[in-house]
Amino acid sequence: MVTKKQIITKKDQDWAKAIKERDKVCQICKRSKGRLNAHHIIPRQFKETRWDLNNGILLCFQHHRVGKYSAHQNAIWFSNWLFLNNPNQHNYILRKLDQISQFPQKDYKSRKITI
């Protein structure tokens, strides 16, 4: 029997694969070798955008998690980078965040993934 958790994992993997196939290289430094990660711009716990390809961007490990200038270490810098380099995606994210923020705050952790 396939569990809900397995289905969610598969959908996460398919989402990451689609981002990799679309972007091919780190969108910030254009590196194509080594560890490349599909990054959720709006965190993946938000079900509304978890598998939305417009909410994904391919980044190298440095620009994803660990660098001084990376999406996880410096959200303000990353937001500004996105605004300058992909204004359509930046605008899309802002619109989605507006919709999500209409939900009561208490729902943040309890909203379940539906598949």
Residues 61, 34: contact at Cβ < 8 Å?
yes
Q: Which is nearer to Zn ion, 31 or 65 (CB)?
A: 31
Q: Is residue 64 a contact point for Zn ion (CB under 5 A)?
A: no
Binding segment toward Zn ion, per CB under 5 A, in 5-13, 52-60, 75-83, 87-95: 52-60
Give the orientation angle of helix 87-100 with respect to helix 75-85, to 10 degrees.
Answer: 130
The Cα–Cα gap between 18 and 27 comes to 15
The CB-of-21 to Zn ion minimum distance in angstroms stands at: 18
Binding segment toward Zn ion, per CB under 5 A, in 35-43, 55-63, 72-80, 82-90: 55-63
User: Which residues bind to Zn ion, rule: CB under 5 A?
Assistant: 26, 28-29, 31, 60, 63
